[in-house]
Amino acid sequence: MATSFTSMDTSIAEQWAVIGAETAKNQGRVAERVLDLLRSLADIVDGFATDQLTHCLQTATRAERDGADDEVVVASLCHDIGKAISVPNHPAIAAEILKPYVRPEVYDMIRVHQDFQGRHYYAHFGGDPDAREKHRATLAPEVFDLAARFADDWDQTAFDPDYDTLPLEHFEDRVRKVFGAANLVPG
């Protein structure tokens, strides 16, 4: 169906209207791709006591049980989704996947999560356990506290194979809700 342009410099507005409508119609694809990526984390263990899907599910379970809202729970579920592609830059990958769908402080919570986690393990690599402090000047105090709560209470504790971890099915409806519509940022 070559009804659209073959190079952008020959495109017309009507073609872009079709693309916009089709893209909006297919928005549901985003949540399904996210769920597929999460499922793929079951194959990644890399020496931890749990696979990475279990770790993500356990992080989200802990957040939910602490009363976190839906965006925070879904972000907690997705915080290590970047590991499905590349471990060294996984926080940035996860944060950018989430960015259009969550409020800015939830995006920040994921973007900085490795530096906040450092409190609990960077010393083993000769790193700075207080790496989180470099974010204190740029994050609002309540965002800093949210990132600390995420790392200290939910993420760094979520490697327990014996914990009562909730299954992915428990979170699927909220994944579809959060990724169901992008936040349109004016300007």
| Residue 103: CB minimum distance to Fe ion, A | 21
Which residues, numbered 14-53, are part of the site for Fe ion (CB under 5 A)?
none
- Site size toward Fe ion (CB under 5 A) is 2
| Residue 55: CB minimum distance to Fe ion, A | 6
Using the rule CB under 5 A, is 155 a contact of Fe ion?
yes
Q: How far apart are CA 113 and CA 16, in angstroms?
A: 38
Q: What element of type H or E holds 110? A: helix 104-111
Please, which residue, 15 or 166, has the CB nearer to Fe ion? 166
Using the rule CB under 5 A, is 115 a contact of Fe ion?
no
| Residue 26: CB minimum distance to Fe ion, A | 30
Stretch that binds Fe ion, among 22-30, 79-87, 119-127, 146-154 (CB under 5 A): 79-87
Stretch that binds Fe ion, among 24-32, 69-77, 153-161, 179-187 (CB under 5 A): 153-161
Please, which residue, 35 or 50, has the CB nearer to Fe ion? 50
Please, which residue, 4 or 156, has the CB nearer to Fe ion? 156
| Residue 114: CB minimum distance to Fe ion, A | 8
Q: How far apart are CA 29 and CA 176, in angstroms?
A: 9
Please, which residue, 15 or 152, has the CB nearer to Fe ion? 152
Go through 98-135 and write b for each residue having 16 or more CB atoms within 10 A of its CB, e for each that does not.
Answer: bbebbeebbbbbbbbbbbbbbbeebeeeeeeeebbeeb
Indicate which single residue of 80, 105, 108, 115 sits in contact with Fe ion (rule: CB under 5 A): 80
Go through 139-173 and write b for each residue having 16 or more CB atoms within 10 A of its CB, e for each that does not.
Answer: beeebbebbbbbbeebbbebeeeeeebbebeebee
Please, which residue, 71 or 80, has the CB nearer to Fe ion? 80
Residues with Cβ within 8 Å of residue 150, at least 6 apart in sequence? 63, 72, 76, 79, 109, 113, 116
Q: How far apart are CA 121 and CA 58, in angstroms?
A: 19
Query: What residues line the site for Fe ion (CB under 5 A)?
Result: 80, 155
